[in-house]
Structure 1
Amino acid sequence: MMGEALHKEKCMWKPLELDGSSTKNGFSVTYEHRADIIQWLSDVSQQFQFYPEALALAVSLLDKFLCSVKVQLRYLKCVA
C-alpha cells in the first residue's frame, strides 16, 4: 500500500523547471531571482509575525504559479 502511494506520488510530482538560459522579453525567472524573492517573502513573514506554515504555503504557490505562467521580472515581487 505504501509502495503504491509512493509510486503514485513519484509519477505526479514535477520538479520546478526554471529556464535561466534565455531572457527573452524579461520573462526568464532564474533560481537566483527565486531565491531573492523567497528571502523577501521570509522578511515580510517575519515582520508581520506570520506562522512558518504561511511562508511554506506562499513559496509552494509561487513555485506552481511560476511553472504555469510567464512572469516579467519587474512584476515578480507583485506576484509573490
Structure 2
Amino acid sequence: MKCPGLCESQRLEILLENALFLETTKWKVPCFVESAIKGTDISPTQYEQTVLWMEGLNLRFQFYPETFGLAVSILNRILASVKAQVKYLQCIAVTCLYLAAKTNEEDEIIPSVKKLAEQSGCMYSSAEILRMERIILDKLQWDLYTSTPVDFLNTVRICD
C-alpha cells in the first residue's frame, strides 16, 4: 500500500494502525478455564499438539507462512465461538488450514479436499471436511481474514 506524500514513518504508522484495528475488531483467542478451553473438553496440550500438527501440514503442502498464521487465527476464533468437542478438533483444524489456503494460496497449489484428507492423516472424509467448512464459515459469518502476527512482521519489513 503506497501512501503518496507521506514519509516512511507515517506510512508505517498508518499500516500498523489498520492492522491493529482489524485485530481488535475480530481477533479472538480461546480462553482456558481450569484444564480445558472454556466450554469444551480440549486441553492446552491437545490444542498445542493440534497447532503443531497444522504446522506440519502447512510445510507438507508447501503453503506460505501467512497461510499457517491465518489457519491458527481461524482455529482460535472458532474455538472461542463454539463449544467444540475434542473428537472434532482435527477436523476443525484441517478445515481451518484448507480455508486459509483457499484465502492465501494460488489455486494450483491448493490440494483437493480428498487429497487433503488422505495426506493429512486425519480420520475424516472429504464430505465431513466440507461440512465442517460450511459450519466454520457460518459461525464466522464468512469473514475469515483478520490481522495475524505475520501481517505485522510483513508491514514492518515492507517499510524497512
Using structure 1 for the length normalisation, give the TM-score.
Answer: 0.71
2:46 is equivalent to residue 33 of structure 1: yes
2:62 is equivalent to residue 49 of structure 1: yes
**Pair member with larger Rg:** 2
Q: Which has the higher contact order (CA 8 A, sep 6+)?
A: 1
How many residues are aligned here?
74
2:75 is equivalent to residue 62 of structure 1: yes
Gaps of 5+ in 1: none
Q: Output the CA distance in 1 between the equivalents of 2:80 and 2:62.
A: 28
Question: How big is the alpha-carbon RMSD for the aligned residues of Structure 1 and Structure 2?
Answer: 2.8
Gaps of 5+ in 2: 1-12, 94-160
Q: Output the CA distance in 1 between the equivalents of 2:87 and 2:64.
A: 28
Contact 1:28 1:73 in 2 (8 A): yes
* Residue of structure 2 in register with 1:71 after alignment: 84
Q: Output the CA distance in 1 between the equivalents of 2:63 and 2:34.
A: 35
Q: Output the CA distance in 1 between the equivalents of 2:68 and 2:56.
A: 10
Q: Cα distance, 1:20 vs. partner?
A: 4.2
Contact 2:35 2:44 in 1 (8 A): no
